[in-house]
A and B are shown apart, each in its own frame.
Chain A
Amino acid sequence: MSVSTEAAAHGHDEHAAHPEYMRHQFDDMDQQNDAASLGMWLFLLTEVMFFGGFFLGYSIYRSEYYESFVIGSQNLDVFLGGLNTVALITSSVTMAFAVRAAQLGKKNHVLIFLVLTLVLGLVFMVNKYIEYSHKLHDGLIPGYNFLWTGLGDGQTIQLFYGFYFCMTGTHGLHVLIGLVLIVWLLIRVWQDKFTTEYYAPIENFGLYWHFVDLVWIFLFPLLYLIGGLAV
C-alpha cells in the first residue's frame, strides 16, 4: 500500500499556531465545528427515539382508553400549560438571538439573551412546580396513594396521569439540565472563552434548547387538549 507520508497542509509543524480551543485530534476549526455539530444532531436523534418510547405508549393507551384520557386531560390547567408553551417558545427565540449575537461576536448581547433564556426557563419550571403541587394536593400522583373520586374509571385515569408525569417529568428534567448548562455558558461567555470562530458550545446548546421546546410543542396538545376544550 503506497501511502504518501508527506505532510498534509495542516501537519504537525503548524501545531504551535493552533488556538487553545482547538482540540488536538482535529486538523482545523472547520473540522472541529462540523464534528461537534454532527455529534449534537446525532445526540438529538437519540433523544427523539428516547421520547419516542413515551409517545408510543401514550398513543396506544390513549386510543384504548380514550374516555379516561379525556377526563384526565380536562383536569389539567390549560392556562398554565399554555403559559408554559409561550414561555418556552419565547425562550427559544431568545436562545436563537443569543447564538446570533455569538456569531457576530457581541459579548454583551450574548449575555443578555442567555439571561433572558434562563429567566424564561425558570418561569417554566416554577409553573411546572405549581401544577405538580396542585396534583399532589388532589392526590393525583400515580402510585399507591392515587385517589380518583370523580366520574370515570380511576385505574385508567391513573394510567393517563402516569404518562403525564413520566413525559412532563422527563421533559422537565431536560429543562433543568438546560438551565444548569446556561449558567455554565454564562460563566464561559463572561470569561471571554468564545470567539466568532469558536462558539460551538453556544450553538450546540441552542440546538438542545430548541429540541426541548419541540418536545413541549407536541406535549402541550397531546396532554392538555384531548377531546376539545369546554369554553
Chain B
Amino acid sequence: MSTIAQQGAAEHRMPRDHFLNAAYTIKSWLLTMDHKRVGLLYLISITFFFLIGGTFASLIRLELATPEADLMEADQYNVAFSMHGIVMIFFFLIPSIPAVFGNFIMPLMIGAKDVAFPKLNLMSWYLFIFGGTFGVLTTLLGGVDTGWTFYTPFSSTYSNSNVILAGMAAFIAGFSSILTGLNFMVTIHKMRAPGITWFKMPLFVWGMYATSLIMVLGTPVIAITLALMMVERGLHIGIFDPALGGDPVLFQHLFWFYSHPAVYIMILPGMGVISEVIAAFSRKRIFGYEFIAMSSVSIAVLGFFVWGHHLFVSGQSIYAGMVFSFITMLVAVPSAIKVFNWMATIYRGSVSYDAPMLYALGFIGLFSVGGLTGVFLAIMGLDIHMHDTYFVVAHFHYVMVGGAVTAFMAALHFWWPKISGRMYPEGWSRLAAFLIFAGFNLTFFPQFIVGYLGMPRRYHVYPEEWQLLNIMSSAGATILAAAFIVPAIYLAWSLKNGKISGPNPWRATGLEWILSSPPPEHNFPTTPIVEEEPYDYGEVIDNPVHEEEHEKEREHA
C-alpha cells in the first residue's frame, strides 16, 4: 500500500514561533482566547470523559460475559449503563468533533483570525467543565440509574439515585453546547475570508454549520425538559407523573425533540471530516460538492421531524407514529447521497491508505450498516419486535462508535500533524485502525443477532443460549479497548519523537494547510483572499511540475 506520508521526502523544520510555544504558563492556557488552545483544552477534557465512559462500558461487557449476575447486582448494573450513556453522550460524543476540531480547524479553514466571540468560546469550555464536575460528582456519589434518557416518572418519583445531580450535569453541559453552536454560526456567517463564498467553504465547515443549527435550536428544549423533570422530582407537582394527572409521554416528546437531533450533532461533524479525508487521500475533487453540503443541512432540518420514532410503543397515537415513521425513512435519502458521493470520489482516484483514510473507509461501511438498520427500526411493525432489544443497541453503536468515534479518530489522525507539527508512526497507526475496526465489529455485530433473537437491553442477566454471542461481544470489546490505548501511546510518543511533518504532510488543499504546523499564534498575518474552488486536487495529479511550484509558493508563504 502506498501512503502519502512515505512520498514526502523533504526534510522539514519546526517553525520558530507557533501557538504552542507562544507561552507556557498555566494561565496562558486557562485564560486563553485562542481558538486553537480552547480546542486542545476540549481534547484533553473529552479524553478524560471517554476514559470514564469506557470504564463503565468495560464493566457492562464484563458482567454480560456470563448469563448470571456475578459481577454486579441489578441496581449496580443500572448505574453502569446509565453512567456509560450519560458520560459518553453528553460529555464525549456531543462535544467531540465540534468542540475539538470545530474550534481548532474551522476558523483556519475559513481564513478567520479567531471565532467571532473568543471569550464566549472559553466560557463554553468552563461551562463544560462545570457540568462535567457534576457528572464526576454523580459518579463518585454512586451514580444514577435512570438510563441516559431520564424517563419519568421513574426519574422524577421512584429512583433513589442522584437524578438531580446528573440532570444538572447534562443541563449545564447543554449551555456549553448552545454557546459553541451560536459562536460557530456567527463565525461561519461573518468571519469568512474574501472569496470563500458559501459554496466554496470546505465541507467540514458545512458540517459544522448544520451541527450548530441543531445545537442552537434543539439544546434549549432539553434544558427546559431536564429543568421540569428536576422541579417535578423536587416538588411532585405532577407535571410528568400520571398518578398526579401528568403525562410521561410529554416528557418523552420534549426529551426526544432534542435528543434525536442530537444524534445528528454527533454524526454530521463526522460526515464533514470524512468528506475532507476522502478527497485528500483520493487526490480528487470531491464528487457532488453541492449535494454533500445541502444534504448536511437537510439532515439537520429533517432531524427535527422524526423524534416520535422513539415513542412507537410509548402510547403515542398511531397516526403520529405513521407520520414519524415515514419522515424517519426520508432521512436515509440525504445520508445515502453522501455515501454515494464519497464512493464516486474514491472511484478512479489515486487512493493512498494512510491512517485517516483507513478510518474514513471504515466509517463509510460502518455508518452504512448503522444507517440501514435505522431504516429497519423506522418501520413501526418491525420496531414493536425490536424495540428495546440489543438490535437497537447495535444500531446506534454502529452510528455513534462506528460512525462518530471512527470519524473522530480520522480527524485526529488527519489533523494531528497540523496540531502538533509532528507525524505519528505510520505502521502503528494503521494497525490501530484495523484493530479498532475488527474489535468494533466483533463487539457489536453479534448484538444485532442476539437482539433480533429477542434479548432486551438494560438487563444484567440473560438466558444461557445467548452466552456465545455475548462472549463474542465481550471479547470484541476487549480488543476495542486495547485498540484505543495504542493511539494514545503513539500520539503521546510522537509529541517529542515524531518526524517533523512540515506544513502540509498530506499535500491537501485548504487554508489550514498553508499555515505552518503547528499554526502560528495569530493565524493569518494578512487576511487571505481565496480564488480557487475547494478540493482543487485535479491539477496535482496531472501536472507534477506545477505541484513543485506550489510547494515553493507555500514555503514563501
Contacts and interface: CB of A to CB of B under 8 A. Distances in A.
Contacts of B532: 1-3
A43 interface: yes
B217 A6 contact: no
Contacts of A42: 182, 185-186, 216
B267 interface: no
B26 to A, nearest CB: 23
Contact of B531 (A4, A7, A11): A4
Interface string B517-557: 00000000111111110001000000000000010010001
A45 B235 contact: no
Given A4-B529, A24-B113, A25-B118, A166 B186 contact: no
Contacts of B116: 25, 35, 39
Interface in A7-23: 7-8, 10-12, 23
Contacts of A38: 185-186, 189-190
A7 B528 CA distance: 8
Interface string A17-55: 000000111110001001100110011011101111110
A57 B254 contact: yes
B238 A162 contact: yes
Given A31-B190, A39-B117, A60 B529 contact: no
Interface string B204-242: 000000000000111111011100100100111111000
Contacts of A24: 113-114
B367 to A, nearest CB: 28
Main secondary structure of the interface of A (DSSP, over half): helix
B305 to A, nearest CB: 15
B288 interface: no
B218 A57 contact: no
A8 B527 contact: yes
A185 B509 CA distance: 46
B488 interface: no
Contact of B527 (A27, A53, A159): A27
B458 to A, nearest CB: 27
Nearest to B250: A60
B245 A25 contact: no
Contacts of B536: 1
A25 B112 contact: yes
A8 B113 CA distance: 13
Contacts of B224: 50-54
A142 interface: yes
A141 to B, nearest CB: 9
Contact of B237 (A5, A46, A60, A143): A143
Contacts of A23: 118
A79 interface: no
A57 B237 contact: no
Given A5-B557, A49-B220, A57 B239 contact: yes
A162 B220 contact: no
B221 A166 contact: no
A68 to B, nearest CB: 9
Contacts of B237: 142-143, 158-159, 162
Contacts of B553: 2
Contacts of A50: 220-221, 223-224
B388 interface: no
Interface residues of B, number: 58
Contacts of B185: 38, 42
A152 B454 CA distance: 47
Contacts of A166: 228, 231
Contacts of A156: 238, 245
Contacts of A56: 250, 253-254
B246 A143 contact: no
Contacts of B218: 49
B511 interface: yes
Nearest to A146: B237
B176 to A, nearest CB: 13
A24 B217 CA distance: 29
Interface in B485-530: 509-511, 513-514, 525-530
Contacts of B525: 12
Nearest to A143: B235
Nearest to B112: A25
Contacts of A6: 526, 529
A201 B304 CA distance: 33
A45 B217 contact: yes
B274 interface: no
B244 interface: yes
B194 A47 contact: no
Given A25-B114, A49-B220, A35 B190 contact: yes
The CB with the most chain A CB atoms within 10 A, among B218, B235, B514, is that of B235
A155 B532 CA distance: 66
A47 B220 contact: yes
A218 interface: no
B228 to A, nearest CB: 7
Contact of B194 (A8, A51, A54): A8
A65 interface: yes
Nearest to A56: B254
Nearest to A65: B245
Given A162-B237, A166-B228, A3 B526 contact: no
Nearest to A46: B220
A155 B118 contact: no
A4 to B, nearest CB: 5
A8 B529 contact: yes
Given A12-B525, A49-B220, A156-B238, 10 more contacts: A3-B557, A8-B527, A23-B118, A35-B191, A38-B185, A42-B182, A42-B185, A143-B237, A155-B238, A162-B235
Interface of B: 112-118, 178, 182-183, 185-186, 189-191, 193-194, 216-221, 223-225, 228, 231, 234-239, 244-247, 250, 253-254, 509-511, 513-514, 525-532, 536, 550, 553, 557
14 contacts: A2-B532, A4-B528, A25-B118, A35-B116, A35-B117, A39-B117, A46-B217, A46-B219, A50-B221, A60-B247, A61-B247, A143-B235, A155-B238, A162-B235
A-B pairs with lowest CB-CB distance, top 3: A53-B224, A162-B237, A50-B220
